[in-house]
């Protein structure tokens, strides 16, 4: 009998069993820690340069001297119903950190956590009240007359509205990430189907609750893939619980996922009624503070990044906008991955970030 055969049929000793139990106990401890503590997230140094109500505008401290930096600063705009620090998730795996190292002057718009007094905030306010004021301050502080903007998810929707309504405000480059803009296909993805259904009325929900609790939004997002989110994620973690890289990544992401925030009631109603149900932006019937949104007025250079396996914003919701915008310089970039994974997953550093950097670098000096 060979040595390998001896190994494969070896009967475990009492010591092996004890070792196994000890390992299992350690793993349970690790799991408990991951589930009930917060990871070290959003560590890149920054300063607040503007605040209004709950909104804050951050400027990240540059890591390169001024002469090595790009001239055109970059403003990051995230969604209104999640915390924006997913863009600066953890040291060594942070989009903000990466862009600082590539020589960008990076700013981040944090919409804040809406309180009961903010239940009437709508996309009109975000687009034409908060964002222009933040941009004014951002331009004043950076000294730049032109700027680039990256919008992600509903942040991309707000960025698109702003870019179409204020084309002469200095926006040179616009990066749209998983932008939910076109809701013509009511069967594309769970959200579209649920929100477009006549049985679902957001008015009653908002009337009773004011703002929509983060738990409802979180549950809705998780129910799009219930087995993966409620079981698969934990099973995969358990399988790799001895791998520190996997554990750190999972911990950081879980910290972000658990940090749910409410969505302003008026914005929620508008999202469901004007966008999901009536598809007003694509139909050309959307008005923001009385101004008709004409996508043809959007003339900034556009990089539209689509996640091919996105179940929250299916690719079809982001594609058609390319035919409607007035930009001459535009590119559609497809990435393999999901809604969050393309920016915060393991492949982001090799695929999404370098492509965005290359596209932006060519237009930032």
Partner 1 sequence: MSQNNNGFDVFDPLGVYKNMRDAQLDAWAKVMVELVNSEAYAEATGVMLQNYLSNTGPVLKAMEAAMQQTLANLNLPSRDDVTRLAERLINIEMRLDSLDAKLDEIHPPTSRPAPKPTRAPKGKARSKENQE
Which residues carry out catalysis? 153, 310, 339
Helix or strand (DSSP H, E) at 306: strand 301-307
| Whether 109 contacts 127, CB under 8 Å | no
What is residue 210's three-state secondary structure?
Answer: coil
Question: Would you say 245 or 292 has its CB closer to partner 1?
Answer: 245
Question: Would you say 69 or 172 has its CB closer to partner 1?
Answer: 69
Question: Would you say 5 or 323 has its CB closer to partner 1?
Answer: 5
Q: Which stretch binds partner 1 (CB under 8 A): 140-148, 278-286, 291-299, 341-349?
A: 140-148
Residue 19 binding partner 1, by CB under 8 A: no
Residue 259 binding partner 1, by CB under 8 A: yes
Q: Which of 3, 199, 328, 365 binds partner 1 (CB under 8 A)?
A: 199
The footprint of partner 1 on residues 306-335 (CB under 8 A) is 311
Q: Which stretch binds partner 1 (CB under 8 A): 46-54, 277-285, 317-325, 334-342?
A: 46-54
The Cα 155–Cα 83 span in angstroms is 11
Helix or strand (DSSP H, E) at 29: helix 14-36
All residues at 6 or more sequence positions from 130 whose CB lies less than 8 Å from its CB, including other chains:
52, 53, 55, 111
How many residues of this chain bind partner 1 (CB under 8 A)?
Answer: 69
Residue 227 Cβ vs partner 1, minimum distance, rounded to whole Å:
4
Question: What is the token pair recorded at 302?
Answer: 């556009």
Question: What is the token pair recorded at 267?
Answer: 């914005």
Q: Which of 18, 35, 235, 309 binds partner 1 (CB under 8 A)?
A: 235
C-alpha to C-alpha distances, 88 to 45, 59, 99, 208, 253, nearest whole angstrom:
10, 13, 10, 35, 11
Question: What is the token pair recorded at 337?
Answer: 């991955």
Residue 15 Cβ vs partner 1, minimum distance, rounded to whole Å:
19
The footprint of partner 1 on residues 91-110 (CB under 8 A) is 91-92, 94, 97, 100
Q: Which of 42, 212, 267, 282 binds partner 1 (CB under 8 A)?
A: 42
Q: Which of 30, 31, 64, 349 binds partner 1 (CB under 8 A)?
A: 64
Q: Which of 85, 250, 276, 353 binds partner 1 (CB under 8 A)?
A: 85
Residue 133 binding partner 1, by CB under 8 A: yes
Question: Would you say 65 or 290 has its CB closer to partner 1?
Answer: 65
Residue 59 binding partner 1, by CB under 8 A: yes
| Whether 213 contacts 275, CB under 8 Å | no
| Whether 352 contacts 339, CB under 8 Å | no
Residue 268 Cβ vs partner 1, minimum distance, rounded to whole Å:
13
Residue 48 binding partner 1, by CB under 8 A: yes
**DSSP assignments along 253-297, one per residue:** HHHHHH----B-HHHHHHIIIIIIIT-HHHHT--EETTEE--GGG
**DSSP assignments along 38-62, one per residue:** ------S-EEEEEEETTEEEEEEPP
**DSSP assignments along 152-203, one per residue:** ETHHHHHHHHHHHH-TTSSEEEEEEES-------TTSHHHHHHHHSTT--HH
Residue 301 Cβ vs partner 1, minimum distance, rounded to whole Å:
25
Residue 189 binding partner 1, by CB under 8 A: yes
The Cα 278–Cα 286 span in angstroms is 9
C-alpha to C-alpha distances, 188 to 151, 198, 281, 311, nearest whole angstrom:
22, 16, 17, 9
Residue 197 binding partner 1, by CB under 8 A: yes
Question: Would you say 216 or 322 has its CB closer to partner 1?
Answer: 216
Q: Which stretch binds partner 1 (CB under 8 A): 28-36, 201-209, 333-341, 345-353?
A: 201-209
| Whether 181 contacts 362, CB under 8 Å | no
Residue 204 binding partner 1, by CB under 8 A: yes
- Give the binding site for partner 1 (CB under 8 A): 4-5, 8-9, 38-45, 47-48, 50, 52-53, 56, 59, 61-66, 85, 91-92, 94, 97, 100, 115-117, 129, 133, 136-137, 140-143, 187, 189-190, 193-194, 196-201, 204-205, 208, 223-228, 231-232, 235, 239, 255, 259, 311
């Amino acid at each position: 009998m060979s040595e390998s055969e001896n190994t494969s049929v070896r009967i475990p000793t009492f010591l092996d069993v004890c070792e196994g139990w000890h390992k299992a106990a350690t793993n349970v401890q690790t799991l408990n820690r991951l589930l009930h503590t917060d990871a070290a997230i959003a560590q890149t140094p920054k300063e607040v340069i503007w605040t209004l109500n709950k909104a804050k505008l951050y400027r990240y401290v540059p890591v390169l001297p001024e002469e090595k930096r790009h001239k055109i600063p970059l403003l990051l705009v995230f969604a209104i119903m999640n915390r924006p620090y997913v863009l600066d998730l953890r040291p060594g795996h942070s989009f903000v950190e990466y862009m600082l190292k590539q020589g960008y002057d990076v700013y981040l718009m944090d919409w804040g956590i809406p309180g009961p007094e903010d239940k009437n905030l709508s996309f009109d306010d975000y687009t034409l009240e908060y964002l222009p004021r933040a941009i004014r301050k951002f331009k004043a502080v950076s000294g730049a007359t032109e700027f680039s903007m990256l919008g992600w998810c509903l942040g991309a929707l707000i960025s698109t509205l702003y870019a179409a309504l204020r084309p002469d405000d200095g926006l040179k480059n616009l990066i749209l990430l998983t932008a939910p803009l076109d809701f013509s296909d009511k069967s594309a993805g769970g959200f579209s189907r649920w929100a477009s259904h006549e049985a679902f009325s957001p008015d009653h929900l908002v009337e009773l609750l004011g703002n929509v609790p983060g738990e409802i939004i979180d549950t809705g997002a998780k129910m799009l893939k219930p087995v993966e989110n409620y079981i698969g994620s934990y099973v995969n973690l358990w399988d790799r619980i001895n791998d520190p890289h996997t554990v750190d990544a999972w911990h950081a992401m879980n910290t972000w996922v658990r940090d749910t925030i409410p969505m302003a009631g008026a914005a929620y109603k508008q999202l469901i009624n004007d966008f999901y149900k009536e598809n007003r932006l694509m139909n050309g019937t959307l008005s923001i503070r009385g101004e008709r949104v004409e996508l043809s007025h959007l003339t900034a250079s556009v990089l539209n990044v689509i996640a091919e396996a996105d179940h929250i914003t299916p690719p079809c919701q982001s594609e058609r906008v390319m035919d409607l915008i007035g930009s001459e310089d535009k590119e559609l970039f497809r990435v393999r991955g999901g809604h969050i994974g393309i920016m915060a997953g393991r492949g982001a550093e090799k695929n999404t970030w370098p492509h965005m950097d290359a596209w932006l670098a060519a237009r930032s000096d």
